Amino acid sequence: MNNFALIKRTSPLHDYWQSEQNDLDERQRLLKINHESKAKYLFEKEPYKWENLYQSIIREVLKGDEGSINGLKVLLDTVSSTEREKIFKSYRDVNLFDEDVIENLLNKRKKTK
| pLDDT tens-place string over residues 37-59 | 999 999 999 999 999 999 999 99
Tell me which residue range forms the domain holding 86. 3-106
Interacting residues of 40 by C-beta distance below 8 A, sequence separation 6+? 33, 34, 78
> Using one digit for the tens of pLDDT, what is the confidence trace for 12-30?
999 999 999 999 999 999 9
In a domain, 9, yes or no: yes
Mean pLDDT of the chain: 92
In a domain, 113, yes or no: no
Torsional sign, CA 31, 39, 12, 88: negative
In a domain, 77, yes or no: yes
Q: Is the pLDDT of residue 109 over 70?
A: no
In a domain, 100, yes or no: yes
108 pLDDT tier (thresholds 50, 70, 90): low
Number of domains in the chain: 1
In a domain, 17, yes or no: yes
In a domain, 53, yes or no: yes
In a domain, 24, yes or no: yes
In a domain, 111, yes or no: no
113 pLDDT tier (thresholds 50, 70, 90): very low
Instruction: Please compute the mean of the pLDDT values over residues 99-109 and round it to a whole number.
Output: 84
Distances (CA, A) of 65 to 10, 38, 45, 84, 85: 19, 24, 28, 21, 23
